[in-house]
Structures are given as structure tokens and as C-alpha cells.
Structure 1
């Protein structure tokens, strides 16, 4: 079985705008000012699905050399996005004749340094959909793009990027300009799941055959030391085991390891693909039945069923000499196998304690 997250009612939450939408609005305002002298405020852009939305400008100006710039403050709605409130600035300048629209990373926007991402190594980390949106916003009605240099900046972007997985993905110097729909859906965690996907893409592009998805720093360090893998093989999946495994089913590698603590792996064994506590708690009665499968007597089974935490259940099992971890990792492997079916990946499950000591493992075994 799989479990769904227990989140606030989506209908009651306010949606927001991606960094790509904000950059597009700023670019459009600067473009209009370059051509006609005045800045539209609010400025209207068209999202990929065709909706028209308006943005207020936070600041704007001409640079005295034929260029113009505009700023938009990102509003992520009710989503806990690290870039909520960030100031997105776009500077436009006349480009070289015949160059068309070129994109450049200003301060706070990263540069791609590893293969496998949607833009090439050496390019500014402005993803393909925001690039298309900006091109459309700068359209003149002719059959070719205008010759314009587009420089995107994010105030404090270098600092904000430390709270993302950009460095792991080889995006150095700042944030990525993201967005596929232009809209931020609250609590969709789309940015994190996108980072998981990009982590797999980077590993595959580098020819790495073994990828490790970890639930946190402790399990990542322990798994990396166990297998002596490079950093690029490590994908910080956090609670999104399903996000990793489903993507690997479509984009397989030779071997995948899922590594986590006792509570997270126990939830995976019970069919949770989103392992966050908000999405539901582990079933202690089911954990007690697993203890029985591992050889626990009736008294211990009853004790485990009445505990309130997975850690307490494991402590009871360990004190009694019951290898509960062996049963749990085997069951977690079965859940992962179902998700990966048809991928050809070999899968193993690692369970660590809070100090990073290996508690149990299952696999690697080939997935059908």
C-alpha cells in the first residue's frame, strides 16, 4: 500500500509564482521600457498554459546606455519556498548584431558546472521553460529574436543557494531560475523533487552506475563511507523515497541504494513513499507483527505494539536479541522493488542508527 500526505486543504492555500515567472515579468517590463521609454506597472505576462497574470514592479530604471532593468519580488504564496520574498532583477542591453537573445548569470544566479542538467555546462542556471517564457516576452512579431543580452540576478542568491541542493548538482554561485508551469503549488515540494531528478540526471551523465538516495546527513555520510562513492552519486532524497524511485524506474542506473534511519525505513517498509511525519506515523501494531516474524515472543510483541515510537520499539527488540531490522529492510526492499519494477535496477536497503552505525541491510538484489 502507499500513503498520501496529510497536508492543509489545497483549496485554502494561496498559490505563488516561480522564479521563472518573476524573471519573465521583469524582463517584459524592461523590454517595453527599452522600446517605448515607459515601464508598464503592473506588467502582464503569459504563462506556459496560456493564462495571463500581472506583476507589480519593485524597482526599475534605464542604464543610460540603451538598456533598462526591472525588479519583481517573488511571492511563493503559502508555499515554504526559500526564495519567497527574493528580489528578482533582469537587466536588458542591446546585443551584438545577429546574436539574438542571450542569457547571462548576474549576481546570485548560479552557473552550471556538471553535465546532465537541462542546460549545458558553462551556461547560467536559467532553465529551459523560463528561457522560453522570456523569449516570448521579448517577441517583436518578426520571424527572428531581437538582439538582446538578458542578465538575471537574485538579491542574496548566493546565500539562499546554501539552503538548496544546487552545489550538489554542480550549480555554483547562486540559485537556479526554475519553473515549468510558472506557478508554485503550495506544499507540492516541487523544487526538492526536481533536485532529486536532476541529481539522478547528473549521476547518469557522469557515467555513475550506483546511486544512493539518503533520508538525511547521517545516513548519507554512512552510506558514502560504506561504498566509497563520489559525492555526485549521493542524492539527498529526504522524505521523498517515491520521488527518487519513480524517477529511477524511468531513468535507471545499474544499482540504487536507499539509506535511512530506523523510523524512515520502517515507514518505507509499511508502504509509505513520502516518509515525512506529517504524512502519517508508522503503524506500531504492524511493527509488532514484524517483531513476531523476527522471532519475538508474545510479551515482547505486546510491548512493541504499545510503544509510541519506532526507536523505542527497536530498543526493546535489540535488548531481547531480536533482529527486527532484518525483517524491516527486507519488507522495505519489497516496496522499493514494486516501484522500480521493469527498470532493471539492482536495489539494496540500508538502515542506520542515529550515530551512523549500520543496523541492518537487505540486498543488493536485481529488480524484475
Structure 2
């Protein structure tokens, strides 16, 4: 298998740009590459794109490189402007750390919701990139003191607003641009863990901002659209992909009390069989679970054979003549989720559907729907 190439984070791009600015502004050195010190003291070499110098400030840009990660920011130009000043007009959106002032500009998002790594009102510059910026500035100043001058760093991304529309930023509460991200400084190709982390963060943001004790888990966009058509409150809905068990655990951790699962029976049938990661590489057995539950509601043997020969769950639904089957499966989904939670004080209900409008609703869903 081909080894995937790593890239560097937006945070590392900012740090490299700052270091290049300092070298040009204070030492009059134009660097094609800079070595930056990461949070774990490893060194990362990053190319510089362009520089411009004036009397008391310098601007530098770095081109974001994402390696083999399918990142919408790949190839984006990130700028910093470093200015030496005597006094600072401190604003609430800025960061002030040891007389080093860091702010955002065009294309850098501002935090508008609780639950993220920085307070509401601040520019969306995460703690680790901030730490790396300060660390690398101090390493430079140790060899190149500037007396009583203060350093002002302004980050801006000309295409940041446009690119942010392709991300979850606005949903998470980051308005008008992108976040400056990175934990280690090195961008590794998107992993399953990274996706799960982003889902957990979205769930946390919903909990802290909407203040509700219920959540709708949709298996995919079909489920979300179905909820919208029903007129349900989708402001407290999250598309959980395949990670049913993981997201149930997250809901417990964050204090949710009611979970509504809504989605196509193709995913739901796996949960009815006790499968809590619905990706096909983990487990399948959809048709077998369909058959088992069809037998339990008394479906005739001829239809059972047709279900066994079905190519998809959607096709298998065509051979179900017992209308109670779909409610039966919805109840199974709800109870299996509660079983997974092993006695936690959370109630689960489910609504499932096929593309041909065959719908199953668990017993308590209608009772609980007043919450949604």
C-alpha cells in the first residue's frame, strides 16, 4: 500500500510566515525556507512564498500544503503581517501573551458560540498554534533582542471566507472565515479518529449553545432531509455517519437524556442486529437481519426467500407484506441503543424509512416528539 504524504497545518503555515517576517524585518534576511519548532520540539521546514518589507512591518505568505489529506485549504495562501510597535490598541478579539499580540484579519474566523477551544469573540486561533507562534517568536528574540518594542502579528487569508463555506465552521459557530488549526503542526491524512473528533466537537457545541437535553442522530443526509420534511427542529440534529456506538457514548458523556435516531432502514437494520459501527468494512449481515425480523413478525416463507435473494435492503423492503415489520425494527433499533448504553439514564427512540415511504416508528417516538 502506498504511504500517504503528510502536509502541514494552517498553524504551521502561520508560524513559518511569522519567522520569515522577523528575519526580514530585524535581520534583513530573505529566506526561501524556514525551520520552525513544533510543540514537541521537532523541526519542520516550510517554503516561503512571498515577502514584502516596509519601515516597521513586514508581510509574508506561505502556501498551505496538505499532503494526501483531502483538505479544502490545500494550495491556499496564508499571510501574516508582523509589526514592531511601542504601544498596542488592545482589542477583545486579540490574544496578548508576554507582550506578543496576535490578531486576525480578513478570512480568519471569529468565534460566536461556546464549546470551542477559545472564548466567544476571539479570533479562531487554536491554543496549540498560538503556543507555536509564541514559542518560535521567543526563540528568535533570544538571539535577536528588540528592546522595549512589542510585536503585533496579524493573520489574514484572502480566500478564507470563500473556502470557509466548504467547511463546518459556520455550523460550529466560527463566522467570516477559517480557523487556525493544528495540534502537532504536521497534517496527517484524514483518519477515522479525526472525523470522530470533529463529530464529538459538533455535538459538544450543540449541547453548550442550545441547552437541550435531547439530540437527533441522523445516519446521513437522507435522514436530515426527512426530519426537515416532517417539520422537526433540526437545529439540534447531527449527522453521525457510521459511528453509532461512539456517538451514543459521547451523548452520555455530554449529559444528553433523550436520543432520537432517524434514518434509512439500510443503516438502521444493522443497529437492530447489534452492530454499532455501520460501515460495510466493519460488518454487514443486513439481509440476514431483515430475514430474522421478518420471521419474527410472521412474514410468509415465500417472501422470506425473496428477501434472502434481494440485492439491497431497499429491494428487500418490497417483499415485506407485514406492515408491523417496520415499527418492529424501529423498536429494535431503539432498544439496542439503550442496551448498548448499559443502564445509563438515556432514553432512545427511532424513526426509520425506506425510499418508497415505508416508515417504522418506535413506541415512544410519538410521545417524545413534543420535545423536538
Shared fold per TM-score greater than 0.5: yes
Residue 161 of structure 1 and its aligned partner are, at CA, apart by 1.5
2:298 to 283, 295, 298: 295
The answer to whether the Cα contact below 8 Å between 2:327 and 2:359 also exists between their aligned partners in 1 is: no
Residue 56 of structure 1 and its aligned partner are, at CA, apart by 0.8
Distance 1:60 1:45 in 2: 17
Matched residue count: 352
The answer to whether the Cα contact below 8 Å between 1:126 and 1:177 also exists between their aligned partners in 2 is: yes
1:12 to 3, 8, 12: 3
1:82 to 64, 72, 77: 72
Distance 2:107 2:281 in 1: 33
Compared CA separation, residues 170 and 301, structure 1 to 2 (3 A): same
* 1:326 match: 327
Compared CA separation, residues 359 and 329, structure 1 to 2 (3 A): closer
RMSD: 3.2
* 1:117 match: 116
SS of structure 1 residue aligned to 2:352: strand
* 2:269 match: 266
Distance 1:82 1:331 in 2: 39
Alignment of 1:93-242 (within 5 A): 93-95=83-85, 97=87, 100-139=99-138, 140-141=141-142, 147-188=150-191, 192-206=195-209, 207-223=211-227, 228-229=232-233, 231=235, 233-242=236-245
Q: For residues 109-134 of structure 1, what are the alpha-carbon distances to aligned partners after superposition, in whole Å with 9 as ceiling and x for unaligned?
A: 21111122111111111111111111
Q: For residues 164-185 of structure 1, what are the alpha-carbon distances to aligned partners after superposition, in whole Å with 9 as ceiling and x for unaligned?
A: 1111112111122222222333
2:350 is aligned with 1:349: yes
Deviates more, 1:51-60 or 1:245-254: 245-254
SS of structure 1 residue aligned to 2:217: strand
Compared CA separation, residues 18 and 321, structure 1 to 2 (3 A): same
Q: TM-score, normalised by structure 1?
A: 0.82
2:258 to 255, 267, 270: 255
Compared CA separation, residues 197 and 297, structure 1 to 2 (3 A): same
Compared CA separation, residues 245 and 136, structure 1 to 2 (3 A): farther
More RCO (CA 8 Å, sep 6+): 1
SS of structure 2 residue aligned to 1:177: coil
Residue 362 of structure 1 and its aligned partner are, at CA, apart by 6.0
Distance 2:148 2:222 in 1: 49
Deviates more, 1:185-194 or 1:44-53: 185-194
Distance 1:147 1:362 in 2: 65
Residue 203 of structure 1 and its aligned partner are, at CA, apart by 2.3
Distance 1:289 1:297 in 2: 12
* 1:27 match: 18
* 1:4 match: none
Unaligned runs of 5+ in 1: 1-8
SS of structure 1 residue aligned to 2:172: coil
Unaligned runs of 5+ in 2: 89-95
SS of structure 2 residue aligned to 1:299: helix
Q: TM-score, normalised by structure 2?
A: 0.81
Larger Rg: 2
